[in-house]
């Protein structure tokens, strides 16, 4: 069992390390231009400098704050809209395909529009994140409520629950795992777009850092900043993934 | 609950399809009216909410200008190239990773974690590698497109119902027949779905790159409209872009027969 | 090993060796899991005469499906020998057609395309394979559904498609693994009639794996009762009920006697299986907590 997992992981990490070493060697030997690709060792050396000089912690909290606000908006607006559409079947029949289509639209490209409305401020970033994350939250909320097993609803009725009780005691708990799946997807979309817009409009947290360093032509620094963003995404992805698994009942 | 089911059924019947259509028309009409009222009221900063007539006019100007089609051609070329490169390499990598449990376990975690990072952050690196021209946009689009395709192809191989493979073998199909008549059709839904996601995300990657640094393409036109504060033109551009993106998405889905649920 | 297995064999006198359509001798299969080696099947030997209908019955976990996959040539790494008319089987054999327990129609093919699949693999021309597919579709009573997709059919109809598909392979031996397991009791009885009717019509040598006593007695000439883990031969029972049979036979007195007899054999094994499962669940529950 353990060997099944350890060997592939070792191969993966080994390949990764070999790749880094090969890059280092190729650049040192002059096969790759070091003004286009910095030495991996140089990038590693730049970590401490970037953390100290570029306020990485403060930037991280800025990005996290934007994501948090977008997430709160998503939770409040997305779940309420989902519940509303579930309740009013006619509205759902009319709008569900539209929302699904919105999910495939390049919403983030509206950022110049939001720049005009909100200026170069955190609100532009937050609103783009919110808009980009909204469709999955709404769709999964509807799916969660609609997917509640009829027998559970009937159990509730057999105990003479009121509509309110029915919602709080049966529908909502039954739908919660699916709703969280949507919320997690929404948050991931929001985070991707928040960092992206930070980079594009050169404002805010970690995304701006990349833009800053690239414009200063600080190559190792740019790579370090990219590593930070990847790290933050991975941690976020993993943590929310754990919560999702924890919420899902054992099958 | 019973009422919900009743309406749901009525909706699918052709005779009673009317209520939904009516609601849709009502929603669209209400939105357009509210927009026009807001525009006329002058509550918001001038031109943030331009009159519908102005947007319509800008849309007409845009579609009749040769400039627009030239930029659209460039964007189309970049997105197409990105889809070709990213999709094909994603498909191949997905087949390898999905086919071998060992290789999948070794390399998929990396892809799985890189998947949900914003790809636009690689743009500065792409500029250094491929220059400021279409090359860096294609590269960014291709990177964006690669991830959903590789992950869904790998998952697509793994979700194949094992009994179908046993059926194929029990009828003594050879390796080629197995690939063509069992594996490929059995995984078409996830692969098409991956390509759909990949296309959408390649469009986003390419256009965002165009807005950041370029001299051609729809992304460039959008950011230019912003710079010259030509709001009706920006709305017109966004409308055409959304129509194209949603249409392309639906088209790929239709091609894969995703509607014909198995 | 073989001698030992052969010694257990004859409750019923076997046919002369030339007339055996299918023969399995001393089949033993071990599986390695994280908790050690499990013997799924232990020295099982059986013979099926041409045109005979043999049912293999046993509780869940007696290795019936393993036996099915071994005879079908889909599993290797076992001890013993499987032969068709004296020829040793290695890999899927042209004379053996398999019907699987799980949903096994290709969802992307219409009914007629599904049934024509084995002919397509054998490179039969398009016109001919469609014609032959139609014949087998009508044999299972699905005329008019040729252009439908499996998703548009009921579970029982889909299983009939799977059976027609295997029949289109024109196997000398039909091998079925609980083909009716996913169906309700009425459909099961009626489909059993259909299978029996086709089997008589084609004089098809048939091996049916099942855990359903009624089904086994309704259909088979002979029943092999297996023990719970490891799966061994417990007994062969000859079913002397008149042919042609139909599902009406389930209400006859003779039928009831056979069912009672087999149940008394099976009860012991099934309850052993149940106890085993409970201990398993307790242990894994304890580990998890």
How many other C-beta atoms lie within 10 A of the C-beta of residue B207?
A: 29
Chain A residue closest to B122 (CA)? A226
- For chain A, positions 153-212, list CB contacts with chain B under 8 A: 153, 188, 191-193, 195-196, 199-200, 207, 210-211
Q: Are residues A31 and A74 in the same domain?
A: no
Instruction: Tell me the nearest-neighbour CA distance from B158 into chain C, angstroms.
Output: 17
Structural domain span for residue A94:
46-247
Both A241 and A146 in one domain: the answer is yes
Q: Which of C73, C102, C116 to mutate to test the interface with B (most CBs of B within 10 A)?
A: C102
Would you tell me the crossing angle of helices A172-201 and A111-118 to the nearest 10 degrees? 80
A209 and A116 within one domain: yes
Cβ–Cβ of A11/B128 closer than 8 Å? no
Q: Which residues of C touch B161 (CB under 8 A)?
A: 102-104
Give the pair of three-digit tokens for residue A146: 């609609």
Return the CA Rg of chain C.
Answer: 19
Mean pLDDT value across chain B:
86
Is C195 strand, coil or helix? helix
Mark whether A28 and A133 lie in a shared domain.
no
Rounded to an integer, the average pLDDT of A170-176 is 88
Q: What's the pTM value of the predicted model, to 2 decimals?
A: 0.78
Q: Are A31 and A99 in the same domain?
A: no
User: Which residue do the tokens 């009425």 mark?
Assistant: C186
One domain, residues A130 and A156: yes
Q: Residue C53 contacts by C-beta under 8 Å, 6 or more apart in sequence?
A: C196, C199, C206, C208, C219, C220, C221, C222
Arithmetic mean of pLDDT, C180-184? 80
Question: In angstroms, rounded to a whole number, what is the distance separating the alpha carbons of residues B39 and B59?
Answer: 17
Q: How confident is the model at residue B123 (pLDDT cuts 50, 70, 90)?
A: very high
Q: Does A53 share its domain with A142?
A: yes
Do the Cβ atoms of A192 and B118 come within 8 Å?
yes
Nearest CA in chain C to B166: C74
Query: Tell me: the pLDDT tens digits for B162-173?
Result: 999 999 999 999
The mean pLDDT of C104-123, rounded to a whole number, is 93
**In this structure, are A22 and A134 located in the same domain?**
no
Residue A71 sits in the same domain as residue A10: no
Position A129 confidence tier, pLDDT thresholds 50, 70, 90: very high
- CB contact under 8 Å between B7 and A89, yes or no, is yes
| Cβ–Cβ under 8 Å, residues A243 and A181 | no
Number of domain units in chain A: 2
Provide the pLDDT for residue C203.
85
Measure in Å the smallest separation between the Cα of A193 and chain B Cα atoms.
Answer: 7
Domain segments of chain C as ranges: 109-170
Contact B11 A5 (CB under 8 A): no
Residues of chain B contacting residue C98, judged by C-beta atoms under 8 Å apart? 166-167, 170
B-chain residues within 8 Å CB-CB of A94?
Answer: 20, 23-24, 27
Provide the ipTM.
Answer: 0.86
Helices (H), A202-218: 206-215
Q: C203: distance to nearest CA of chain B, Å?
A: 21
Q: Is the pLDDT of residue C15 over 70?
A: no
The set of residues, in sequence order, having a beta carbon less than 8 Å from that of A161 and lying 6+ positions away, is A169, A170
> How many residues comprise chain B?
262
Assess contact for A136 and A186: CB atoms under 8 A: yes
- Average model confidence (pLDDT) across chain A: 89
Nearest CA in chain B to A166: B1
Q: Which residues of C touch B177 (CB under 8 A)?
A: 121
Residues A13 and A85 in one domain: no
Q: Where are the beta strands (DSSP E) in chain A?
A: none
The predicted pLDDT at position C267 comes to 86
Give the residue on B whose Cα is nearest the Cα of C151. Answer: B262
Q: How far is B192 from chain A (nearest CA, A)?
A: 14
Q: Is B177's Cβ below 8 Å from some Cβ in C?
A: yes
Instruction: Examine the domain organization and report whether A13 and A66 are in the same domain.
Output: no
Considering the domain architecture, whether residues A32 and A74 belong to the same structural domain is answered as: no
Number of other residues whose CB lies within 10 A of the CB of residue B27? 14
- Residue B170 and residue C103: Cβ atoms within 8 Å? no
Please, what is the end-to-end C-alpha distance for chain A in angstroms? 22
- In this prediction, residue C35 carries a pLDDT of 74
Cα Rg of chain B, angstroms:
23
B55: its two tokens: 């947007």
* CATH number of the domain encompassing residue A156: 1.10.3720.10
Kindly report each contact of residues C130-139 with a partner whose C-beta sits within 8 Å and lies 24 or more positions away, as own/partner. C132/C168, C133/C164, C133/C168, C136/C164, C136/C165, C136/C167, C136/C168, C137/C111, C137/C112, C137/C161, C137/C164, C139/C164, C139/C167, C139/C198, C139/C201
Helix and strand counts by DSSP (H, E) for chain A? 12, 0
Nearest to B109 among A12, A108, A113 (CB): A12
Give C235-257 pLDDT, tens digit per residue: 898 988 888 788 788 888 888 99
């Amino acid at each position: 069992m353990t060997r099944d997992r350890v060997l592939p992981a070792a191969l993966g990490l080994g390949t990764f390390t070999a790749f880094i070493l090969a890059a280092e060697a190729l650049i040192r030997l002059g096969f790759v231009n070091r003004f286009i690709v910095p030495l991996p060792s140089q990038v590693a050396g730049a970590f401490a400098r970037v953390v100290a000089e570029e306020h990485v912690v403060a930037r991280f909290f800025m990005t996290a704050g934007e994501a948090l606000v977008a997430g709160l908006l998503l939770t409040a607006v997305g779940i309420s809209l989902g519940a509303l559409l579930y309740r009013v079947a006619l509205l759902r029949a009319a709008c569900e395909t539209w929302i699904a289509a919105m999910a495939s639209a390049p919403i983030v490209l509206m950022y110049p529009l939001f720049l005009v409305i909100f200026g170069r401020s955190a609100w532009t970033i937050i609103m783009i994140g919110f808009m980009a994350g909204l469709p999955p939250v709404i769709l999964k909320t509807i799916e969660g409520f609609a997917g509640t097993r009829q027998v559970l609803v009937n159990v509730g009725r057999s105990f003479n629950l009121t509509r309110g009780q029915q919602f709080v005691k049966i529908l909502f708990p039954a739908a919660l795992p699916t709703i969280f799946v949507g919320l997690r997807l929404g948050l991931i979309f929001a985070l991707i777009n928040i960092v992206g817009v930070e980079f594009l409009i050169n404002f805010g947290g970690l995304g701006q850092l990349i833009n800053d360093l690239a414009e200063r032509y600080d190559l190792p620094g740019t790579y370090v900043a990219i590593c930070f963003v990847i790290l933050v995404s991975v941690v976020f992805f993993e943590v929310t993934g754990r919560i999702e698994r924890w919420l899902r009942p054992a099958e | 609950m019973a009422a919900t089911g009743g309406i749901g059924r009525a909706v699918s019947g052709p005779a009673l399809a009317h209520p939904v259509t009516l609601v849709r028309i009502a929603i669209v009409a209400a939105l357009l009216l509210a927009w026009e009222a807001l525009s006329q009221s002058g509550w918001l900063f001038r031109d943030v909410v331009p009159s519908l007539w102005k947007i319509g006019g800008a849309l007409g100007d845009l579609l009749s200008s040769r400039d627009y089609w030239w930029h659209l051609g460039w964007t189309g070329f970049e997105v197409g190239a990105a889809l070709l490169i990213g999709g094909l390499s994603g498909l191949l990598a997905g087949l390898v990773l999905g086919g071998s449990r060992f290789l999948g376990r070794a390399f998929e975690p990396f892809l799985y974690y890189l998947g949900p990072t914003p790809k636009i952050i690689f743009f500065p690196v792409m500029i250094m590698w491929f220059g400021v021209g279409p090359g860096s946009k294609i590269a960014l689009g291709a990177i964006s497109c690669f991830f959903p395709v590789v992950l869904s192809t790998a998952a697509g191989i793994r979700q194949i119902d094992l009994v179908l493979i046993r059926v194929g073998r029990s009828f003594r199909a050879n390796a080629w027949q197995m690939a063509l008549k069992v594996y490929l059709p059995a995984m078409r839904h996830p692969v098409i779905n991956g390509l759909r996601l990949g296309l959408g995300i390649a469009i986003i990657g390419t256009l965002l790159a165009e807005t950041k640094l370029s001299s051609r393409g729809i992304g460039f036109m959008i950011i230019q409209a912003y710079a010259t504060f030509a709001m009706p033109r920006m709305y017109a551009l966004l409308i055409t872009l959304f129509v194209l993106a949603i249409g392309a998405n639906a088209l790929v889905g239709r091609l894969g027969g995703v509607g014909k649920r198995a | 090993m073989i001698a030992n297995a052969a010694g257990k064999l004859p409750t019923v006198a076997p046919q002369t060796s030339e007339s055996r359509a299918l023969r399995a001798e001393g089949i033993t299969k071990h599986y390695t899991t994280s908790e050690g080696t499990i013997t799924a099947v232990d020295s099982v030997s059986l013979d099926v005469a041409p045109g005979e209908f043999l049912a293999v019955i046993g509780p869940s976990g007696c290795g019936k499906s393993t036996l099915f996959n071994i005879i079908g040539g889909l599993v290797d790494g076992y001890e013993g020998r499987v032969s068709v008319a004296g020829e040793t089987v290695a890999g899927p054999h042209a004379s053996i057609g398999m019907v699987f327990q799980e949903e096994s129609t290709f969802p992307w093919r219409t009914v007629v395309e599904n049934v024509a699949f084995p002919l397509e693999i054998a490179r039969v021309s398009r016109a001919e394979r469609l014609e032959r597919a139609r014949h087998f579709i009508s044999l299972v009573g699905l005329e008019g559904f040729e252009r439908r997709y499996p998703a548009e059919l009921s579970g029982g109809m889909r299983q009939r498609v799977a059976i027609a598909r295997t029949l289109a392979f024109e196997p000398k031996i039909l091998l079925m693994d609980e083909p009716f397991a996913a169906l309700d009791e009425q459909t099961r009885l009626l489909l059993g009639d259909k299978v029996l009717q086709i089997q008589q019509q084609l004089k098809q040598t048939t091996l049916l794996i099942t855990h359903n006593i009624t089904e086994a007695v309704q259909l088979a000439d002979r029943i092999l009762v297996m023990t719970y883990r490891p799966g061994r031969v417990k007994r062969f029972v000859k079913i002397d009920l008149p042919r042609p049979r139909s599902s009406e036979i389930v209400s006859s007195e003779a039928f009831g006697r056979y069912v009672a007899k087999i149940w008394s054999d099976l009860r012991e094994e099934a309850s052993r299986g149940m106890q085993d499962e409970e201990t398993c669940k307790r242990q894994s529950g304890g580990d998890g907590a």
